[in-house]
Amino acid sequence: MHQVIVAGRQRDSREIMAALQRAGVLHIVPLSAAGFETGPLGGLAADERRSSERLLARVESTLGELGALRGAPAPLPPEGEWAARVEEVAQPASVLNARETELQSDLDTQASYGEVVRVLARLAGGVDTSRRLALLTFTVQTPEELSAVEAALREDLGDRSALASDRVNQNTIAAAVAVLRADREKARAALSRARVGELRLPGRFDALPVSEVQAEFERIARANPAALNEVRAEKRRLAAAHGARLYAIRDALADRVAIDDARAQTARGKYGFVLQGYVPDESMGTFRSAMDAMQGQVVYEVQPADEHHAETIPVKLRNSPYARNFEFLLGVSEPPRYGTFDPTWMIAAFFPLFFGFVVADIGFGLIFLIASLWMQARGRRGEDLDLGFLGIRLDPATLQQVSTVIRTMSLWTILWGFLTGEFFGNVLEKLHVFYLNPELIQRIYGVQVGAGGEHATGLIPILFPRTDAGFASVIMLICLAVGIIYLFWAWGLRAQLARKHGQTGHFWEAVAIMGGLLGLILLAYISKIGADFGALGNFGNPLVLVMLAGFLVFVVGYIRIIKDVPILPIELLSQGGNIISFTRLFAVGVAAAILANLATDLGWSLGGILPVIGPILGILIGLFVHSFFLALTLIGHIMQPLRLHYLEFLNPTGFYQESGPRYVPFARASVRK
């Protein structure tokens, strides 16, 4: 990243900003200097900006009312015609939108109250239009509530009321009470005392007699769908005819407002201005070309960004095309500070691997693979994916990224599934495709597993029998080894970056933690996890000396930073707990495998009990139980590997404490879109 300073005449500022905007590579940083004006523009420039903003809001609201989508670009009309072109479409669009809202509102009201009103109109029998009588309508859920209303009316009005009711559906009873107009308020008080509210219809329908409401509802049901379709067709016609031109005007106005916003970030004098920002190394050619084309109007200075001021330097992530698909997984936080560690490639490499290790089932992997290919095809067609139950809508570009992530996860799941021999649990074991060979496992891992039993013969030997109790120690050791590597890697990065940036405290903290972790790990190994503490006094064992050296490094580091981090010993113990956290990969994975086996065993047993329908019923029930278990556990399968990266790994590196501003180039609206 290069830091740039741009200076020019005040009268040329808009032209210079437009050139920088077309280049689209400069990240602008607000600049203040003694004797210069900073902040929002004033005077005529402010008035022009407000006018542009008003017209921009008008065109954006019009595009929203029409539901116009961005299509092929259209020529930009002359600036003097912008307001007229917008109003030419905005007024009919506003009328159509209001009409659509009215029609849809009436349809919604009819759908919500139509059945109740139909019953009430029949019960009213013309009383609702009487000049002497008043009709009160309400709904209840149970006959007991209706009896309470009837008792309250009898108590207050005696025989001066008539109550009729009928059931609308299983949960609703509609009722109407006819009283003299003089007794209307007493009748309402009786309803209130019975804890029943009078039925109030929305909007204009509340003032109409119920029979007229019923007639209006019938008209709405007949006429509104066709009228609504006509309105929407007219909106689509307007959008097709004018949408592209409106988007061209909208982008031009957005560019103009953005230029004024950029000018507000400069230091301005009476005759000149100064602007500072940052340009990525690979974009310096574009920046220089834009500035050199304005020779005589602008001067600029370029120098490499100073990492000692990394907190203000914008960050542009540079990842491979594959790893770029995983950047959204870290998008919940600010990017790492300039000159530090970007963990995107690590997430891309190990998160799918860990997910596959947890699920490790060929059948589930194939389901994920099919889902990813469907999402990829949808994204390539330019279609969004609305995940309404999560409140998320994925645009085509994001959808393609997500599909790549899921496809990678599925391939690792299938690979681990071949190692574990799992296909929707133990289906392929029962079909003697996979089998357990205890002698082979003994030769590879040096552990004794149970005999294969009914699964002792087959075509392909299982190389990773994770559901066997005798194999649990192997998986635990693998998970702990991964945890040890991750924690030393994380603290090693912290030490490297702290030394690079001259952060002595963080450097000694990282060194002390690594020394203490080494000591704790060797203490557990030498003493056989507390079974033989006497072995710790065998100084002829070089591992004992290494353990003591590790604890010595911890003590030295702790002394150096004891004033700043007095609780470092507690932090050391928590880091040991973080290593143990990696065993959750074992726990979650084995639990999922056991549930999958149970689902398969259930379906398989039904297939063996009933003669003809048994196999069909067994398959259906097995699929249902598998789907149920997968729905319950899938979030955990995803979150546990992510958590190990987010917390156990990234926390020690200082990723969340040392973030930087995201690189946002000053570019034209059409490019930003």
8-state DSSP, 70: P
Please say if the pLDDT value at position 672 is more than 70. Answer: no
Cβ(279)–Cβ(2) below 8 Å: yes
The pLDDT tens digits of the residues spanning 582-619 come to 998 888 888 888 888 887 777 777 766 666 676 777 77
**Mutual orientation of helices 210-263 and 43-66 as an angle, nearest 10°?**
140
Please say if the pLDDT value at position 540 is more than 70. Answer: yes
3-class SS of residue 59: helix
Sign of CA dihedral 73, 74, 79, 81: negative
Mean pLDDT, the chain, rounded, equals 88
Alpha helices in 126-209 (DSSP H): 143-157, 184-193
pLDDT category of residue 384 using cuts at 50, 70 and 90: confident
pTM of the model: 0.74
Please say if the pLDDT value at position 389 is more than 70. Answer: no
The residue with greater pLDDT, 455 or 29, is: 29
Query: Average pLDDT of 302-311?
Result: 82
The candidate with the shortest Cα–Cα distance to 245, out of 408, 81, 131, is 81
Cβ(273)–Cβ(17) below 8 Å: no
Please say if the pLDDT value at position 410 is more than 60. Answer: yes
CA atoms within 13 A on the CB side of 279: 27
**CB burial of residue 48 (10 Å; 0-12, 13-18, 19+):** middle
Question: In degrees rounded to 5, what are phi and psi of residue 668?
Answer: -70, 155
Domains of the chain listed by start with CATH number: 1-29+273-336+665-673 (3.30.70.2170), 102-226 (3.30.70.2750), 361-465 (no CATH), 478-657 (no CATH)
What pLDDT is stored for residue 74 in this prediction? 85
* Neighbour tally for 447: CB within 10 Å: 15
User: Can you read off the two tokens belonging to residue 237?
Assistant: 């016609």
What pLDDT is stored for residue 608 in this prediction? 63
Cβ(517)–Cβ(573) below 8 Å: no
Please say if the pLDDT value at position 533 is more than 60. Answer: yes
Distances in Å between the Cα of 231 and the Cα atoms of 71, 88, 92, 245, 539 are 22, 18, 11, 21, 89
The residue with greater pLDDT, 92 or 658, is: 92
The pLDDT tens digits of the residues spanning 237-262 come to 999 889 889 999 999 999 889 888 88
Q: Cα separation of 52 and 83, whole Å?
A: 10
* Neighbour tally for 178: CB within 10 Å: 20
Q: Cα separation of 158 and 136, whole Å?
A: 17
Query: Average pLDDT of 213-219?
Result: 93
What pLDDT is stored for residue 612 in this prediction? 65
pLDDT category of residue 387 using cuts at 50, 70 and 90: confident
Of 113-122, 263-272, 342-351, the least confident? 263-272
The pLDDT tens digits of the residues spanning 488-512 come to 999 999 999 888 888 899 999 999 9
What pLDDT is stored for residue 331 in this prediction? 79
Cβ(470)–Cβ(627) below 8 Å: no
The candidate with the shortest Cα–Cα distance to 557, out of 623, 513, 596, is 513
DSSP per-residue codes, 183-232: GHHHHHHHHHHTT-PPP--SGGGGGS-HHHHHHHHHHHHHHHHHHHHHHH
Q: Cα separation of 569 and 622, whole Å?
A: 51
3-class SS of residue 434: strand
The pLDDT tens digits of the residues spanning 21-54 come to 999 999 999 887 777 788 788 778 888 888 989 9
3-class SS of residue 658: coil
What pLDDT is stored for residue 68 in this prediction? 85
Please say if the pLDDT value at position 452 is more than 70. Answer: no
Residues 6+ apart with CB under 8 A from 388: none
For strands 434-435 and 460-461, give the pairing: parallel
Q: Cα separation of 521 and 648, whole Å?
A: 17
Q: Cα separation of 408 and 391, whole Å?
A: 25
What pLDDT is stored for residue 671 in this prediction? 62
What pLDDT is stored for residue 598 in this prediction? 82
- Rounded to 5 degrees, what angle do the CA atoms 624, 628, 632 make? 170
